[in-house]
Amino acid sequence: MSIMKREFTSARFGLAALIGVVWASAALAHVSLEVGEAPVGSYYKAVLKVPHGCEGAATTELHIGIPEGILAVKPMPKPGWDIETDKGAYGRSFAFHGKSVTEGVTGLTWKGGELPDEEYDEFVFAVYLASELAPGTTLYLPVTQTCGDKSQGWTEIPKKTPPEDLELPAPSLTLLPARKK
């Protein structure tokens, strides 16, 4: 192989590696779900990844909006943090273990702890994804991250903008068809 061709190939490889690092850094820069898809009619362990605080300040509170159709929400206790749940009525009923469910958890908040800006952590909760939800759709869980007197909303939901072009995207969960029994 000629020297010029080898240098061109090396430059292309280096550029591809740099683009990969930049893309990975951008992807890790926002609050997101560890697993972004799950089948309807099943249980799902939501692991919310929080990679940093707000502009150098430690995270002291995290609020997650829970969309309709996500039922039986159970947050995992986190040492040093208090958990609060918001409850409310749904716009429709959902079947859950043979019963009709018309209300439930609409939001979760962890607060009272401290996650330094230079550290990473996860906030976990278990849910049931109603079988009435449509496979192929995406649910968005808007998050407000509070860092003392600062806050950051990870609340953008794509409408006409592609999800990858959003600056502050809400964590998303793509619904898959129910598992065959």
Q: What is the pTM for the complete model shown?
A: 0.81
Output the pLDDT for position 7: 53
Splitting the chain (181 residues) into consecutive groups of 10 residues, what average pLDDT does each group show?
51 41 44 97 97 93 98 97 98 96 98 95 98 97 95 91 86 95 73
Give the separation between CA 10 and CA 12, rounded to whole angstroms: 5
Give the separation between CA 147 and CA 159, rounded to whole angstroms: 28
Output the pLDDT for position 2: 54
In words, the CATH class of domain 31-176 is mainly beta
Contacts 24+ apart (CB under 8 A), 72-77: 72/96, 72/104, 72/126, 72/127, 72/128, 73/104, 73/105, 73/108, 73/125, 73/126, 73/127, 74/125, 74/126, 74/127, 75/108, 75/110, 75/123, 75/124, 75/125, 76/123, 76/124, 76/125, 76/126
Domain boundaries defined on the chain:
1-30, 31-176
Output the pLDDT for position 19: 36
Output the pLDDT for position 160: 78
Output the pLDDT for position 14: 46
Output the pLDDT for position 1: 54
